Amino acid sequence: MTFAQIRSNPEVCALLDKGNQNLGVLGFTDHSEAHCLLVAERAAYILRKLEFPEHVQELARIAGFMHDIGNAINRTHHAEIGALLANDILKQTDMPMEDRISIIAAIGQHDESTGGSKDPISAALILADKTDVRRNRVRTKEQANFDIHDRVNYAVTGSTLKVDREKDIIALNLQIDEDICTMYEYFDIFLTRMLMCRSAAEMLGHKFRLTVNGGKVL
């Protein structure tokens, strides 16, 4: 079972589409296949930079793509629901049991309200998911209708995640238009997620650094 097969799996894609529709009704930013693909590739990038085996990178990539399928059922406990759905889907494949368990464990741990990094795959997934802050995640284009989540994401005009093995740092570098969103608003929404990223980076033997407009914040 490969990432390419999971990415084209009709059930996975249908669950992601339904979950994104549900969250759109609830007023959440984009959680579509585009978000999940970015998370998948970013999780694999983190582990590749840290020289984990390609097989581990592939498992992180699969977990990243599937991580939000639980939103199709309910936003509450979507991580745990997603893990159960992923288990059922992956059981129908030739994936070894140990790999399947690694993937569903990572999916079940990715939400900041109930989860946390327990191994390299879950740590990479958390970092990849929680650092996806960008303007084009905002669904509505009318700024008059923005809530605080929309303003925070729309204010981000540039975002990069870098892994520096020599300095043992995983850094999220943001460019934020503070005329749209103040730093107080940013941390009102993202402080818990950034702290979760710090713990995930520590699981990988690194420090987490957040810079905004060129200045260190965390």
* Percent of the residues in the chain that have a pLDDT greater than 70, as a whole number: 100
Query: Is residue 216 scored above 90 in pLDDT?
Result: no
For residue 4, name the pLDDT band (cuts at 50, 70, 90).
Answer: very high
| Mean local confidence (pLDDT), 71-98 | 97
- Can you tell me the distance from the alpha carbon of 168 to that of 164, in angstroms, rounded to the nearest whole number? 6
Query: Is residue 118 scored above 90 in pLDDT?
Result: yes
| Mean local confidence (pLDDT), 195-204 | 97
| Mean local confidence (pLDDT), 33-51 | 98
Query: What's the confidence (pLDDT) of residue 55?
Result: 98
| Mean local confidence (pLDDT), 67-87 | 98
Query: Is residue 43 scored above 90 in pLDDT?
Result: yes
- Can you tell me the distance from the alpha carbon of 78 to that of 107, in angstroms, rounded to the nearest whole number? 9
Query: Is residue 102 scored above 80 in pLDDT?
Result: yes
71 in Cβ contact with 22 (< 8 Å): yes
Strands 215-216 and 169-176: unpaired
Query: Is residue 147 scored above 90 in pLDDT?
Result: no
The pTM of the full predicted model, rounded to 2 decimals, is 0.95
Q: Domain locations in the chain? A: 3-216
Which residue from 145, 67, 150 is spatially nearest to 106, judged by alpha carbons?
67
Query: What's the confidence (pLDDT) of residue 75?
Result: 96
- Report H helices in 54-96: 54-66, 78-91
Query: What's the confidence (pLDDT) of residue 59?
Result: 98
For residue 79, name the pLDDT band (cuts at 50, 70, 90).
Answer: very high
With the CA atoms of 55, 119, 90 and 33 taken in that order, what torsion angle do they form, in degrees rounded to the nearest 10? -90
Residue 86 — φ and ψ, nearest 5°? -65, -40
Strands 169-176 and 207-212: parallel
Query: What's the confidence (pLDDT) of residue 126?
Result: 98
Q: Does domain 3-216 have CATH number 1.10.10?
A: no
Query: Is residue 110 scored above 80 in pLDDT?
Result: yes
For residue 53, name the pLDDT band (cuts at 50, 70, 90).
Answer: very high
- Report H helices in 75-174: 78-91, 97-108, 120-130, 148-155
Query: Is residue 31 scored above 80 in pLDDT?
Result: yes
Query: What's the confidence (pLDDT) of residue 143?
Result: 82
